[in-house]
Structure 1
Amino acid sequence: MDPATLTDVEPFYRTIIGVARTLFAAQGLKFTISGAEHIPATGGAVIAMNHTGYMDFTYAGIPARETKRYIRFMAKKEVFDNKVAGPMMRAMKHIPVDRGDAGDSYRLAVEALRRGDLVGVFPEETISRSFELKDFRSGAARMALEAGVPVVPMVLWGSQRVWTKGHPKRLGRTNTPITIIVGAPIEPYEPAAEMTAQLHTTMEQMLEEAQKNYRHEQGAYWVPKRLGGSAPSPEEANVEDARVAAERRARKEQERARREAGGHSGEEPGANGKGPSAQ
């Protein structure tokens, strides 16, 4: 099936996009989009995006609508476990990612690409606290190579002002300008590490272009330190990320230990005078 005709067979996704656009208008968001013609009108492609805020994926789909395409985003498994968001994510055919075992999500992404879908990927994996590009994982390049499809670079700038890590969400009428730039497709080539490096360099140049034409407030939390803002430097952000990751691992280890202790108390049911056998 020609993906450009999916608007006729995915009414739910189309409805969600309509609702989102209504919300964006109510917020007064002002989008400046360039390069949308680089998104293939048909066939599969990996859409590689930078990650500065929680709303990035909702904005990143806008350029694809110029050719009536839909993007299948790779998102944390926890989102799919949510009673409200889960059914919606599955209905839109997004792809769950289990960070403890990413093999399944990688396979599903490659299958979607081979079917002719657009698959949205954040090569940084997590939101950048510095709002500069973090190091990239090689997954985008590897799945493009395996599926035989191009990688289309995309950068967003300004979305961190709406809702980002460590700061309150601003979902009211803020009239926030958001810039989206889509770059020319990068055809897959070996080795994946070199392709990933090229992707990073390309997106860094695109991000600088977006920032150059954007009005920044001196000292603002959403402005990179390099541009006179109060955001942490990439080095400071890496230290904070490492601290948070260590705390998360410690909590998981404590939870695992509690579960194991609770399941191996060494007592038979009712042996302490409680439970069914004591009645």
Structure 2
Amino acid sequence: MNFHELFDLKDKVALITGGGRGLGEQIAEIYAERGCQLALCSRKKANCDEVADTLSNKYGVKAIGYELNVTSETSVLSVVEKVIHDFGKIDILVNNSGATWGAPVEEMPLGAWKKVIDVNVTGTFLLSQAVGKHMIARKQGKIINIASAAGLTVREPEVTNTIGYTTSKAAVIHFTKDLAMKWARHHIYVNAIAPGMFRTKMSAGILKKDEEAVLKTIPLRKIGDEHMLKGAAIYLASSASDFVTGTVLSVDGGSTL
């Protein structure tokens, strides 16, 4: 198998949650460039539709946007059924939808805690379960969970104060490892990417508050740009990672060292 075959996604179908902006959009683009068909899902369907149209026109792949509430089992089951109907299959699942909330632990509202856990953890479970049943029947599949460097380390409150988010991402990391063990017998690969600090809507508040303080926690002394996650995403989705499961690939400039 040559280099191009290792990283080829032609005729594969990827369902990407949170695919209408940020890291999800970046992952969608590199997949489209490698020939992958795309089901882009989020609460804001218009964003997914826009990205789908752009990538379809640019790369000539089939791409469709869907409205999805990852915390609703009914919504998840409905969308997964639609995607399988529209594309015939799902080869790759990227659990990228995420939520955060910044507040001191002693002041964090219970509702905020529940929202973050529901989106980041329950959403990952519901999508993995629904798509996983389809993958088990086909005896193949790749699941990529977007965790976070924040789930692997802790920082002073002056740097980050998002205990719901960090807890949820630590849960996603363990979920990844446990699910990889459970579904290896079905030839389903389950891995996670743990991004560090990237310039996204979610990180804007932290960077605006004190970017210099954040940079001091990153050995490479830089913030991730719109291209730096693409290599990890294509690796874990393609044949290049066919002997890799249950791993967490940190893409963080060394912040978790």
TM-score, length-normalised on structure 1?
A: 0.39
Output the TM-score relative to the length of structure 2: 0.42
Does 1 or 2 have the higher relative contact order (CA < 8 Å, sep 6+)? 1
**Greater C-alpha radius of gyration:** 1
